[in-house]
Chains A and B, each alone.
Chain A
Amino acid sequence: MDGLTRARGRCAVTVAAVALALVAGGCRGHSPHGGDGAHARVPAPLRSVPGRILVGSVRVGGFAELRPRFPRGCLRVFSELAPSASTRVVERAGILGRSVTVADPHTPWLYGCDAGVRSPARCGSAVGAWRGGRLNDPRLDVLCDDPKGKHLGAAWVVPLRRTRWIAVRERDFTEIYPVAGRLPVRIWTRDGVRYERSSADFEVTQFAADGTRLAHEKLHTAVAG
């Protein structure tokens, strides 16, 4: 093993450790884990992604398993949502924020709630028209703040058929979101928020299971509807 390889190996271990520490620290007490697609370390096919990589965790389950305050308490505000046994729920705990995404085959709507990483309650919510694998709008929410009071933006991105991970580039790091539950992925940005314009830009890259880069775009979103 030459020096460069050793250095890369050390770097990968460090990044994974930082990711684990940040996920565990940032989502203390409410980190969803287990279930399908749960990750807390950098997936091997993405280790070549440049810069600091951090990975949030994800849990897929049913409505009955949700904790009472967040997200279940939040979802109660959606009077048109009538959870059933076939309701699909994806809970995410990321570096910038937490979210829950809910879909039910009996309704054409996709419901979502957002919360800060350390906040016990929701800070925003979203409802989108979700039909045949298409979402009418990313449904940007800019009501959440980070612990330092900086505005955050949360929005859905619809993964491509082969997408396994979605990466969102921030100035200092890239956050990886595992695709789960065959639902749009709720992603976050802090650097891309233009609060005065109620809009946010996300630099999004979609990766296949083998690490192939499937798409890269600057997703422009705005609060609407």
Chain B
Amino acid sequence: MNRTPRLELLLRARVVFLAAFLGALSLVAARAALGAFVDQCNYNAPTPSPYMTRDGSLTVAIVAMYEGYHWGGGCWNDNDVDEGPNEPLQTVSSGGEGGDCSGLTFKVWRESLDKNDGGHYQWGRLRNVHGPYNAAMFKAGDGVPNAAYSKVDAAIMDAFASDSHIGMIYQRATSGADQIVEAKCEACGTNIFTRTYRADSSYGGVRRMGWTG
């Protein structure tokens, strides 16, 4: 009887087992990391602030970069790692890191949960808050702090919104495209992207009212 094929088979089985074991181990580790992260998220009250500058809000948005995307989410830390990658698409209940497009906008624009309150509220990074608006509501100018606005005049930290997405202007470009800071999708995460929303008829301008600088 030839022993070499049997040995090969045995080795191959061990390699497959080892790969499966390591795969399962990394999955368990990722789940544990996500669980530890989700445990840090809180429901603390926001801090009211008399001020809200466009530069300050830009900083809030930059902290959210590389922290991932989560449908209906609003909790992130500041380690530039998405603790919940490859989450089920458009599923709120899985828990995960990052905001979605409208959740990011709500937090960066320091809005109140009360739609009739136009004040400024600083939400902690780990405060799990999405806010009451989706992209279509922002586009319609729903809520006292928000107003539909001319796209031509839209400036830094104004937003472009369609019925299903919203992104804020990070930098205005002369080429017709803008640098947009946005939470785009599970695969693309939260980052700055070059977009042509300004010229896209499905997008409207939205302005957060009440900037103090």
Write the residues of chain A forming the contact surface with B, with a CB cutoff of 8 angstroms: 77-80, 109, 111, 124-127, 129, 136-137, 139, 141-143, 195-199, 220-225
A127 and B164 form a contact (CB under 8 A): yes
Q: Is the CB of A223 within 8 A of B113?
A: no
Judged by a CB distance under 8 angstroms, whether B190 is at the interface is: no
Inter-chain contact B90/A224, CB cutoff 8 Å = yes
Residues on B with beta carbons closer than 8 Å to the beta carbon of A139? 134
Q: Which of B52-73 contact A (CB under 8 A)?
A: 71-72
Residues of B within 8 A of A (CB): 43, 71-72, 90, 92-93, 100-103, 113, 115, 128-137, 139-140, 142-143, 162-165, 201-202, 204
Chain B residue contacts of A196, Cβ below 8 A: 43, 113
B208 CB, nearest partner CB in chain A, Å: 17
A143-B115, A222-B72 known; A80-B202 Cβ under 8 A: yes
**Residue contact A224 to B72, C-beta cutoff 8 Å:** yes
**B128 surroundings in chain A (CB, below 8 A):** 197
Q: Is B132 within 8 A of A198, CB to CB?
A: yes
CA distance A223 to B136 in the complex (A): 11
The 3 A-B pairs at the shortest CB distance, nearest first, are namely A224-B72, A222-B72, A127-B163
Please judge, given known A-B contacts A198-B129, A225-B102, A225-B135, whether A220 and B92 are in contact too, CB under 8 Å: yes
Asked if B130 and A198 make an inter-chain contact with CB atoms under 8 angstroms apart, the answer reads: yes
Closest residue of A by beta carbon distance from B73: A224
Whether A125 touches B140, Cβ cut-off 8 Å, given contacts A79-B204, A225-B100, is yes
Q: Which B residues are CB-close (under 8 A) to A197?
A: 43, 128
Question: In the complex the two chains form, is A80's CB within 8 Å of B129's CB?
Answer: no
